[in-house]
């Protein structure tokens, strides 16, 4: 059976550099997209030189975030159910701050990830920069039965490694992509030699139920020295 494309939303990090929180929900594509547009740019600054006859050498300022543009097609014309309205409302709500972030006095919209089978180039955490919804079919009572949603996702980047306040060095945190058969206990055993410290990984990623892990999800693995202090 072919893999279905999915958009999944997560609680935003509680502060910059921290991992995202728990999953807020997902929208599975009824029909896989016909095309994806993935862009990535580099930042450059051009310097002017009045005295030189040739153009001055540009200065590289860094890599800019990836951007993914994809269309999501929703259709409930056969069932005449409210799934189209529910899907578009959920998608649009991911552009607004989450209730949890508002309560924490740090309003922020969810982080969103597009995933499609083994296509890892497009599987990155980001935020919805732009969402457009075009309704093309309606029920007799005005309820939408068909809609095309244009989504533009901008890469948010991986969490920045934490700094050790005593030594000033960076800890060896890394990102692990979950594969079939993975568990937090197994990952803790592989990383630290002690499966009982799996809660360290759960806390670092806001995982409330370790049994609900999705293959392909990227999680942050704390460094060994963080496990040693437990």
170-208: b or e for each residue (b if 16 or more CB lie within 10 Å)? eeebeebebeeebebeebbeebbeeeebbebbbebbbbe
**Mean pLDDT of the residues in the chain:** 84
User: Is the confidence at residue 51, as pLDDT, over 70?
Assistant: no
In which band, very low, low, confident or very high, does the pLDDT at 228 lie, cut at 50, 70 and 90?
low
Q: SS3 helix, strand, coil % of the chain, rounded to 5?
A: 20, 30, 50
CATH H-level, domain 174-228: superfamily:
LysM domain (3.10.350.10)
- pLDDT tens digits, one per residue of 153-175: 999 865 444 444 434 433 455 67
Q: Which of 36-40, 67-71, 121-125, 179-183 has the lowest mean pLDDT?
A: 179-183
User: Is the confidence at residue 184, as pLDDT, over 50?
Assistant: yes
User: Is the confidence at residue 54, as pLDDT, over 80?
Assistant: no
Strand partners for 60:
44
The number of CA neighbours under 13 Å toward the Cβ of 159 is 28
- State residue 224's pLDDT score: 65
What the block records as the tokens of 18 is 């921290």
In which band, very low, low, confident or very high, does the pLDDT at 83 lie, cut at 50, 70 and 90?
very high
Residue 92, CA distances (Å) to 71, 87, 96, 150, 195 in order: 14, 9, 8, 11, 40
Query: Where in the chain are the domains?
Result: 6-42+58-155, 174-228
First-to-last CA distance in the chain? 43
Q: Is 19 exposed, middle or buried (0-12, 13-18, 19+ CB in 10 A)?
A: buried
CA 2 to chain centre: 22
Helix (H, G, I), strand (E, B) or coil at 73: strand
The average pLDDT across 69-96 equals: 96
CA pair distance 155, 86, nearest whole angstrom: 26
Looking at per-residue pLDDT, the higher value among 177 and 39 belongs to 39
């Amino acid at each position: 059976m072919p893999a279905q494309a999915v958009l999944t939303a997560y609680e935003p990090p509680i502060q910059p550099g921290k991992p995202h929180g728990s999953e807020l929900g997902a929208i599975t594509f009824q029909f896989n997209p016909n095309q994806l547009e993935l862009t990535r740019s580099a930042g450059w600054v051009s310097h002017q030189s009045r005295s030189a006859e040739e153009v001055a050498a540009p200065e590289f300022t860094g890599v800019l975030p990836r951007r993914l543009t994809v269309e999501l097609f929703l259709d409930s014309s056969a069932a005449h159910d409210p799934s189209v309205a529910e899907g578009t409302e959920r998608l649009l709500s991911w552009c607004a701050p989450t209730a949890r972030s508002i309560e924490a006095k740090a309003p922020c919209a969810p982080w969103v990830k597009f995933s499609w089978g083994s296509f890892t180039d497009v599987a990155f955490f980001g935020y919805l920069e732009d969402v457009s919804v075009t309704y093309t079919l309606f029920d007799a009572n005005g309820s939408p039965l068909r809609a095309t949603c244009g989504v533009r996702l901008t890469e948010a980047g991986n969490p920045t490694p934490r700094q050790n306040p005593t030594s000033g060095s960076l800890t060896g945190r890394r990102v692990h992509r979950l594969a079939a058969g993975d568990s937090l206990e197994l990952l803790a055993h592989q990383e630290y030699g002690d499966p009982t410290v799996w809660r360290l990984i759960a806390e670092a990623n806001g995982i409330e139920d370790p049994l609900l892990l999705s293959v392909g999800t990227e999680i942050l693995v704390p460094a060994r020295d963080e496990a040693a202090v437990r």
